[in-house]
A and B are shown apart, each in its own frame.
Chain A
Amino acid sequence: MSIKSTLTIGILLLTSIKLSAINDSAKPKFFINEIATSFAIGSNHLNSFAALPFIFRGNINQKNIEKSTVLLMAKNRTGIIANAGIKFSVQEYNFSINSALYSGFSYSKDFFLLLFKGNSQSAGKVLNLGMNGKQIGFYTLQYIHKNINYKNKWQLQIAPEVYVINNYASIKTKGKNTLFTSENGQNIIAELNYNAYQNTNAISGFGFGSSFLAYKIEGNKISSWRVKNLGISLLPNNLRVFSQDTNWNYSGFNFTLGQNFSVASRADSLRRLLYIESRQRNRITMMPIQISYGIEDVKKIISFNYMAMPGYLPQISYMKKLFKANHRIDIGAQMGGWSLLNSKFGLSTQLNKQKQQKLVLEIIGIESLLINYPGFGACLKINW
């Protein structure tokens, strides 16, 4: 999505907010119900300061890379989710537009060390480079069909949706992937077997699917099931494919004094050892399906969450509710997903009781900003 189109959407939103305010007394034809934005970085080891540049750009310094190695395990996971969306009504119909980026990776310790520290420090050791990753960025236009009543117990919301993919990349190693650099740097021996796909066109593909919400209210207790991004997309636009399935031993080139040779062509030959690039016309991919189950009462919120992304583990979250006047504070923790165990803090403020205006702020893993610990996220949401 270009800056220009983003600004256009922004201006439209501002205009619509203003219009809704002016015509407050009149029956609204268009009404914004919710604006929400969030991001979350999860990892079992990646220091938050090392992770934040993946969203907000910038340099990852050696200190933070070094800190990120403390909790490195044989198999590691890191993921990023960033969302911005708006829910609105036109007459009695409800819609939402959302922009999202999902990145999820699981990888070996050696892969991380090779990528972030290079092979100099691991010369003389065999590196195991297992890796599975996927990144998908997309816009969603959703129609929310509300409240289908099931046996007077469950209320069901079905939201068919279309996706416009603006960013897609994936990589997956198969079998053994190793790399060995001799201590004197004279040999690199590799066994590579992987496939990677990349499409960074402005519009990479289209898809369709649906999201569901089923909830049941029993007294003060609300139980809910939510399925999000249940859909598939077609990437029809000439995907770049990088792959390799070979063993090789690279020891530089033989150079004889007095004979012509080209340094650049030698660099090309090394690149060809690392990957072979080709094109693939079409690829169908699953959207990052999210399934969650939540129980909420006046004292607590418990939720279970799972998402079909590489490295993502089932996640459980517990929040204790504390009320004061028009404000509510939630304090708790979550465990799983891409992260280990992170604190969770929420603030909900009733802005206007009559209009049901509410501001919600949620921060996950605030401790990671204070100590060397992975996992951080934030969410800001306004409801009308």
Chain B
Amino acid sequence: MKIIKLSILAFLCTFLILGCKKDRKANWDAAYLIPLASSRIEFNNVFGNYISGGANNADYIYETKLYENSPGLLSIPDTGLNTSFTLARLKLADRSIERKISLGEINPLFLLLDGTTTSIPAQNQTNLTPFDIDASDFFDQATIKTGEMVLEFENELPVNLSLLEFDLINKANGDIIGSATFNNVAPNTKAIKIIDLANKQIGAALQVKIKTLQTDASSGNVLIDANKGLNIKISVRNLTTSAATAVFPSQTVLEQDEPLSQYFDGAELKYIKVRSGKLKISLYTSIAENMTLYLKIPSATKNGVMIDEEIKVEGARNGRPTSLSKEIDMAGYVIDYRGKDPDITDTVNTFYQIMRVVLDSSGRKLSVSLNDSINLSYGLEKLVPEYAIGYLGNTINETGDDNVPMAIFEKLNGNINFNNVSMDLNITNGIGTEGSVLARKIIASNSKKGIDIPLTAAVINNPYIIGRANFNPFFNNVQQVTLQNSNSNVKQFVENLPDKIKFNMQIATSPNGNNNNWQDFIYYNSKFQIDLRLKFQNLLSFNQLQFKDSINFNLNEIENLERVKEGKIYLFFENRFAFSINLKLAVYDKNNRFLDTIGNNDMNEIIAASGAVAAKGKAFINIPPNKWNSIKNAAFAYIILTANTPPNTQISINSSDYCKIDVSADVTYQIKAN
């Protein structure tokens, strides 16, 4: 039984082992040789971007921009007109109607005597039956704000009218619009009375109610003509309404004919040519009548043609207001800012515009009230000038404490000795006015060493005046300040290997005011620029000159990295530089904590070329197991190249020199079988 139990136990053990097959892994180490990278280190990899350089003893030149201001400067504020108006400005047409009150209407007895010759006794009638007058030719209904009614009376009776008193009544409500009294109107003569209609509401149905009609007796027999009587002519004039249902006449409802001024922050402009921008016109109306908008800007011309726009606007329909907008591209237009009539009054910053809105009468009766309005706006928007001429104003720009990177030395550290070095400050003025530069300080700052070397030269703290650019043909005015050993500490300044140039400058335009009598100019591309130009002779030496560049070195994403145990990195090099290079890798974790340095031994030295003969060979970096942990935890790394020229020797670096490095890794890798 013991054997059976042992057998069962053995069976179960085997079963367990088989059952757990997936957890089981055989593993072994193998050595793999893998190409990693090829790199070619050239002069500009180390010294940043130089712009020229050449064979032995040629100069290397590096340029960087210290300051640039594109006053492009002039900001043209949006400007224009925005107006709205209501019926306060809307007139009704002057119109007349006539009404004859015949003798038969006055007294039917005369109808019997019509055509006979008889004497007429004196008459005195009062409160005659009112006579209707149809005033629908004026309007159907109107609430008059201002205006008057003219009552012209002609006596066609064969007798003298000694007294006529009547009221003009709004038939709809019986309100008296006005009253008139005429005395002693001889036959076939006229008399006039004017009634003020202000603030009266008048309908189309009027009535004349004669309160007193007195006539004298005829002198003898006279011919009775029952059709003749009293002719009344009623006219309305100078009417403005607060509400009306009427036929409105064609009329100009808005007229602007005036210059508009713009403010250019101290500049006084005569002309600009527009590079981009637009004229935007917007109109909104609730009036049901069509309109025409006329806009002229005589100050804005393109190829000699001014802006002249005629825009038809449909009236509101079915209670829905009309809105309309239109944009005109202003590119290419020249705007004359000298005002309405420069020959008479030559001014600045002012352009001339004419605008008119005309109501186009359709002959239809329309209801309009004071609530109806027209809103109109037009404006010059987002104008960018191609050029501007005038006085550009005295502007002062302070850079404050600022700095620019010096790419040429940004990744270098150590000690370098140039045989000869100079530095130019190139000041470029692309503006048609004088400028001045006050350099308060220019500092070569090496932030890695924490050393600042201020420039000592005549240009520091002394205003430097630069002349204006030329208008036609256009060219910049460029002036150069050259700094050499003889007039500055430029050698010390450059050999500090600044990774930054710190500066504080004041740049002014038109420092002496309107010297050029409004003849300053500026183009869209005009700029004021200060460049620093560094020139060093290709004869130099260095000691422990260190180039440092960061790379993304997060290997955690690489699958099964933990299986790499140790390794060796081979560097197959071909070095044409006359200096040796030592290559190291400093690895850091994600919190920027230094972890380790790889390659800090003598085996990884890339030896210097000897004359024209390139140095070729193999260097290597050992990565023992204890370094692998650092590599595995790295998030980034610095490649550190340390270069040395042979002791006490100045070398030349040809721009075609390079150091080619082919990198491969020979690693021991643990393989696990599935």
Residues of A within 8 A of B (CB): 1-3, 5-7, 9-10, 13-14, 17, 35-39, 53-62, 65, 82-84, 99-101, 115-121, 123, 137, 166-167, 169, 181, 184-188, 198, 200, 250-258, 260-264, 266-268, 270-271, 349, 351, 357, 359, 380, 382
Q: A10-B15, A137-B18, A257-B45 are in contact. List 10 more A-B contacts (CB 8 A).
A: A1-B20, A59-B26, A99-B15, A101-B21, A117-B31, A184-B572, A185-B35, A253-B38, A257-B547, A258-B549
Contact A84-B555, Cβ < 8 Å, known A3-B20, A258-B45: no
Q: Which residues of A contact B20 (CB under 8 A)?
A: 1, 3, 6
**A58 CB contacts on chain B under 8 angstroms:** 26-27
Q: List residues 6-54 of chain B with CB under 8 A from any CB of chain A.
A: 7-8, 10-12, 14-41, 45-46
User: Contacting A257 at CB < 8 Å: which of B16, B34, B639?
Assistant: B639
B554 sits at the interface (CB 8 A): yes
26 contacts between A and B (CB under 8 A): A1-B21, A3-B16, A3-B20, A10-B12, A13-B12, A17-B8, A35-B7, A55-B24, A56-B17, A57-B24, A118-B30, A120-B33, A184-B618, A184-B662, A185-B34, A253-B38, A254-B39, A260-B551, A260-B552, A264-B555, A267-B559, A270-B34, A351-B4, A357-B4, A359-B3, A380-B14
**Contact between chains at B35 and A188 (CB < 8 Å):** yes
A115 touching B30, Cβ below 8 Å: yes
Q: Find out whether the CB atom of B31 lies under 8 angstroms from the CB atom of A118.
A: yes
B15 A37 Cβ-Cβ under 8 A: yes
A-contact bits for B634-669, CB 8 A (1 contact / 0 none) = 000001010000000000000000000011111001
Chain A contacts for B11, CB-based, 8 A: 35-37, 84, 380, 382
Whether the pair B30, A200 counts as a contact (CB closer than 8 A) is: no
- Chain A residues with CB under 8 Å of B10's CB are 37, 380
Q: Is the interface of A mostly helix, strand, loop or mixed?
A: mixed
Determine whether B673 belongs to the interface, using a CB cutoff of 8 Å to chain A.
yes
Q: Which residue of B lies closest to A184 (CB)?
A: B572
**What is the CB-to-nearest-CB distance from B115 to chain A, in angstroms, rounded to a whole number?**
120
The answer to whether the Cβ of B553 comes within 8 Å of any Cβ in the partner chain is yes
Of chain A, the residue at the smallest CB distance from B45 is: A257
1/0 contact string of B477-488 vs chain A (CB within 8 Å): 000000000000
B561 nearest CB neighbor, chain A only: A267
Inter-chain CB contacts under 8 Å: number: 197
B618 neighbours in A (Cβ, 8 Å): 184
Q: Are B31 and A101 in contact (CB under 8 A)?
A: no
> Which single member of B19, B662, B665 contacts A6 (CB below 8 Å)?
B19
Closest approach, in angstroms, between the C-beta of B561 and any C-beta of chain A? Answer: 9
Contact B19 A252 (CB under 8 A): no
Q: Is the CB of B39 within 8 A of A187?
A: no
8 Å CB interface, B59-91 against A: none
A35 to B16, CA, bound (A): 14
Question: Given A5-B19, A55-B24, A59-B27, is A115 in contact with B662 using a C-beta cutoff of 8 Å?
Answer: no
Q: Which residue of A lies closest to B665 (CB)?
A: A185
Contact of A252 among B16, B22, B32, B38 (CB under 8 A): B38
Whole-angstrom distance between the Cβ of A181 and the nearest chain B Cβ: 5
Knowing A256-B40, A351-B3 are in contact, say whether A116-B30 is a contact too (CB < 8 A).
yes
Residues A181 and B33 in contact in the complex (CB < 8 Å), given A84-B11, A257-B45: yes
CA distance A100 to B25 in the complex (A): 17
Known: A54-B26, A263-B554. A6 touches B15 (CB 8 A): yes
Contact with B19, one of A3, A39, A181, A254 (Cβ below 8 angstroms)? A3
Q: Given the complex, which residues of B lie within 8 Å of A264, measured CB to CB? A: 552, 554-558
Closest chain-A Cβ to B258's Cβ sits at a distance in Å of: 61
Residues on the A chain within 8 Å of B8, using CB: 13-14, 17, 35, 382
Please report the C-alpha to C-alpha distance between residue A148 and residue B655 in the assembled complex, in whole angstroms: 93
Using A184-B572, A261-B551 as known contacts, say yes or no to A60 and B28 having CB atoms under 8 A apart. Answer: yes
Instruction: Specify which chain B residues have a CB less than 8 angstroms from the CB of A36 in the assembled complex.
Output: 11
Q: A55-B24, A359-B7 are contacts. A10–B663 as well, Cβ < 8 Å?
A: no
Using an 8 Å CB-CB cutoff, how does the interface string of B487-511 with A read, 1 for contact, 0 for none? 0000000000000000000000000
A58 to B24, CA, bound (A): 8
A16 to chain B, nearest CB (A): 11
CB of B223 closer than 8 Å to a CB of A: no
A55 & B35 in contact (Cβ 8 Å cutoff):
no
Nearest B residue (CB) for A1: B19
Q: Which single residue of chain B is at the shortest CB-CB distance from A35?
A: B11
> Which of B19, B37, B547, B551 is the one whose CB lies under 8 Å from A99?
B19
Contacts of B271 in A (CB 8 A): none
A240→B32 CA distance, assembly (Å): 26
Shortest distance between the CB of B2 and any CB in chain A (Å): 10
- Contact present for B3 and A257 (CB under 8 Å): no
A167-B32 CB under 8 A given contacts A35-B8, A186-B662, A351-B3 = no
